[in-house]
Structures are given as structure tokens and as C-alpha cells.
Amino acid sequence: MAGRRPNNKPQGKPPALRKVGARRRFFLSILIGGLLLESGLRILLGNFGQAKVLQRSDDSEICLELRPETQQVYTGWRARVAPSQMIINSYGIRGPELELEPADGTLRIVVLGDSFTFGQGVNYAASYPAVLEEQLRSAGINAEVLNFGVPGHSTPQSVALARARVTPLKPDLVLLSVFANDLSAAESYCHYGRGGNATSAWVLRNVYVGRLAYLLVSPFLFGEVTPPDYPSLRSPNERFVDSLNALQAMAESEGFLAGTVLLTDRSMFLEQRFCPGCTPAHDLVGQTSIRVFDLGPTWAELQDDIPGNFIIGEDHFTEQGNRRIGSALTSALLKWPEFSASAGRAGATR
């Protein structure tokens, strides 16, 4: 009886090994896909360069400050935009080096604010504080305008910065610029660099897939959040009014003029994505004695040409938008008798 032929067909891998191989291929495909997505996002998204010139301040009231003597090319926070230079001087502000004492015959002006004042998305010379200096000089006033804008700052933090860093510079005028989200309670807390926030900040700077995830979910995360370690925090409206009053008291004590610049119109303060439950700053400034410069009409005019005045994908002012804000502020200052008198006392008029 003939024996059976041996089965020479190659035997398949055991089921357990096949499962291991499938898992490996799955995780490898995920890894390759993630790397390809990360590479593509590095082409499409900006480099979040503003975070690289910021550091946590030792003063918790200031929270964020600019890192002295740093330079960074900025290409956008969300979509990639035209590159601009961020150059921080040794005093820790954007702009050229400065002397602690103002030069004779010079009117020294300090402008406080957030990323709109800093000039995020444009070079320093195109920021509206630089435009203000240029146009005041053209009007016959030898002005020196120092840009104390810090991306991410709220009104209380800007006033704390003025108390610590501005008064030693002996300014003649300090202007506090206010954007719609500066009254938000969330903006007033100092979260930067605390616990998990340090890790998330690193991820936003360096992992573009992580930043995309944040951009996708952040529209659902806006709202008033009170951290448990801030039990005595006053309302955003109270903090705003107190900050303006503190700046005015500082001005009277140190002998300089003070004013607040409302960069937007009332409707922006009513948008929930900027400041849920906030009262427009236009309705709160009446509770203070500080001089108010309302650029709301100029802001409304800027809306007629969004691509010309705002960086698409960035939402900050273009060079044109900065110039229009700087021009409106120049015009408002020149109509203020106390400002003209201050320029005369400084010997800055010609």
C-alpha cells in the first residue's frame, strides 16, 4: 500500500505571531502617518514664535514678560504668515536699546498692552507704537515711544508691569491699550508655566499635531473658569476698573500723564468668545478719572477692508492696520491740551 505523500507546503505562522505582526504594522502605519502629518503641518502652520520670546515673570502679578536680548523669526500662530522679526532689547521690551534717562528735549511715551500693541505679525517699525513715534515727530514733537506690549497680557498684568518696570524710566505719558479679551477673567489669571501648563506650552511650541488638536477643540473651551487657588479673585469688571484707577494713582504720584486706549468698538466686548459676561470697557471707564482715547470708530472702519487691515489666519493688524491705528492715536493725542503742555515742559516741541 503506497504511503501518503508528505505535505511540503510551507506552514503559516501561528495565530499568535500573526496578531503580533498585524499590531506592529498598525502601529508603524500610525507612526508614519503621524510623521507625515507633522511634516505637512510644519509647512502650513506658523512657528508659534511669540512663545519663544516670552518667559514667566518672578512677579506673579506680571505673569508673562519678554525675554531680554532675544531674537526670533515669527511665522504665525495658526496659519503660516509672512515672516517678521521679533527683537527684544536688554531691558526686556521690543525695540531698539534705550537709556534709562530720557534725553533732553524728548517726550518719553510708554504704551502698554498685549499682542496688538506688541505688533505680532509685523516688524517693529510697522507696529502702531512705532507709527505713533514717527507721526508725532512729523508733527513737530520729539517723541520717544517705548513699546511695552506683551503677547498674552491682560489689563491687570500690564499695570503691574508699569509699576515694576516703567516708573524707573521717568515717562511723560503712559498709555494702556485695551483689547476686547483683556477683561476676561481667564486672561487675568497667571497660568503660564504652572504644572501641566508648562508641558502644554512646550507641546504648542514644538509639536504641530498637538497645536492642531488645540486649535480644533479650543472653540469649545472658552468660558469663565475660576481656578481653586484664586478664591478671592474679583470680577473682571472690578479688576479692570481697579487697574485703571491704580495706573491713574501711579501717574499722579510719579508726575506723568496717563491714558487708556480702547482699540475696539463696543460690539467686540460683547462677543462671548472674547469675554463671556463682560461689560464693554466703554461703559466702565466712566468709573475712573483716567483719560480715555476711544478708537472704536477707527476699529469699525478697519472692518471695511479685512484683508488690508488684518493678517488673514493671524487676526492681528497688518502694516496698514497698524498705521491707521497709529494715525488715529496721534490725532487724538494732538487734540489733548495736557499732552501739548507736557511736550512743551519737556522741551520736545519745535
Task: Give domain status of residue 81, yes or no.
Answer: no
- Which pLDDT score, from 0 to 100, does residue 222 have? 44
| Average pLDDT value for residue range 46-61 | 88
- Which pLDDT score, from 0 to 100, does residue 313 have? 83
CATH of the domain at 220: 3.40.50.1110
**pLDDT > 90 in the chain, percent:** 55
78 bridge partner residues:
none
Task: Give domain status of residue 130, yes or no.
Answer: yes
Would you say 241 and 284 are in contact if contact means Cβ atoms under 8 Å apart?
yes
- Which pLDDT score, from 0 to 100, does residue 219 have? 53
Q: Which burial class, exposed, middle or buried, applies to 240 when counting CB atoms under 10 A from its CB (0-12, 13-18, 19+)? A: buried
pLDDT tens figures, 299-310: 999 999 999 999
Report residue 200 as a C-alpha cell: 502644554
| Average pLDDT value for residue range 10-18 | 60
- Which pLDDT score, from 0 to 100, does residue 29 have? 85
Task: Give domain status of residue 189, yes or no.
Answer: yes
86-116 core/surface letters (b: 16 or more CB in 10 A; e: else): bebbebbbbbeebeeebeeebbbbbbbbbbb
Task: Give domain status of residue 37, yes or no.
Answer: no
pLDDT tens figures, 260-288: 999 998 888 877 566 666 788 999 999 99
Can you give the C-alpha Rg of the chain in angstroms?
26
Has residue 122 got a pLDDT over 60? yes
- If one counts the domains in the chain, the total is 1
Q: Which of 12-16, 21-25, 133-137, 280-284 has the lowest mean pLDDT?
A: 12-16
Domain that holds residue 190: 99-345
Higher pLDDT, 7 or 64: 64
Of the pLDDT bands very low, low, confident and very high (cuts 50, 70, 90), residue 189 is low
| Average pLDDT value for residue range 204-217 | 76
- Which pLDDT score, from 0 to 100, does residue 210 have? 78
Task: Give domain status of residue 284, yes or no.
Answer: yes
111 bridge partner residues:
147, 175
* 224-to-87, 178, 188, 244, 325 alpha-carbon distances in Å: 34, 19, 11, 22, 30
pLDDT tens figures, 71-104: 999 999 888 899 999 999 999 999 999 999 999 9
Task: Give domain status of residue 77, yes or no.
Answer: no
- Which pLDDT score, from 0 to 100, does residue 223 have? 44
Has residue 228 got a pLDDT over 60? no
Task: Give domain status of residue 90, yes or no.
Answer: no
Task: Give domain status of residue 7, yes or no.
Answer: no
Say how far apart CA 198 and CA 122 lie, in whole Å.
27
Query: What's the distance, CA 297 to chain centroid?
Result: 22
Has residue 227 got a pLDDT over 90? no
Which are the contacts of 224, defined by CB distance < 8 A and separation ≥ 6?
A: 184, 185, 186, 276, 277
- Which pLDDT score, from 0 to 100, does residue 195 have? 44
Nearest C-alpha neighbor of 94 from the set 79, 63, 115: 115
Higher pLDDT, 281 or 200: 281
